[in-house]
Structure 1
């Protein structure tokens, strides 16, 4: 499996798992291959409307904050095998 395939699998997996939460702006944030585990670790970011501040209108129209998830993908099978929260320091 090449990196581009792992990214596609991760994005599709996140879109499916969180489909009922109205996520949007799904995008790649990080990717890493772990040779000794034969895994791709792909971090995907997305936005959810309900993450917007309730009083956003009073403070100006601010975009929803990003949520980050790291998807583990088995390099041999090409299947997503796990997902974790990922905190990215800015």
Structure 2
């Protein structure tokens, strides 16, 4: 599998798993191949409806940009199957 296929697989897993959460702003954040584990680690970022500012004051007080969640999707390089999906911790 190449990097493009790994990214497509990871995005598909995220959109299917979180389908009922109305995800927006779905995008690739980073990707790497772990040769020893023979798997891809793809980080996908997205926003959920509750991540957006609730009113105009909240939008002005913050950046007005919704917060994002980041998930690391491990994809088997041989089977193209998702092995796990974990939160990616973001430093403040």
After TM superposition, is the score higher than 0.5? Answer: yes
1:51 CA displacement: 1.4
1:66 CA displacement: 0.8
- Secondary structure, in 3 states, of the residue corresponding to 1:65? coil
For residues 2 and 88 of structure 1, the distance between their equivalents in structure 2, rounded to whole angstroms, comes to 27
Match in the other structure for 1:57 = 56
1:52 CA displacement: 2.1
1:82 CA displacement: 0.7
1:62 CA displacement: 1.1
**2:66 is equivalent to residue 67 of structure 1:** no
**2:16 is equivalent to residue 16 of structure 1:** yes
For residues 37 and 89 of structure 1, the distance between their equivalents in structure 2, rounded to whole angstroms, comes to 26
Aligned-CA RMSD value: 1.5
- Secondary structure, in 3 states, of the residue corresponding to 1:37? coil
Give the structure-1-normalised TM-score: 0.90
Q: Which runs of 5+ in 1 are unaligned?
A: none
For residues 46 and 63 of structure 1, the distance between their equivalents in structure 2, rounded to whole angstroms, comes to 12
For residues 89 and 27 of structure 1, the distance between their equivalents in structure 2, rounded to whole angstroms, comes to 19
1:15 CA displacement: 0.4
Alignment of 1:66-85 (within 5 A): 66-85=68-87
For residues 81 and 10 of structure 1, the distance between their equivalents in structure 2, rounded to whole angstroms, comes to 10
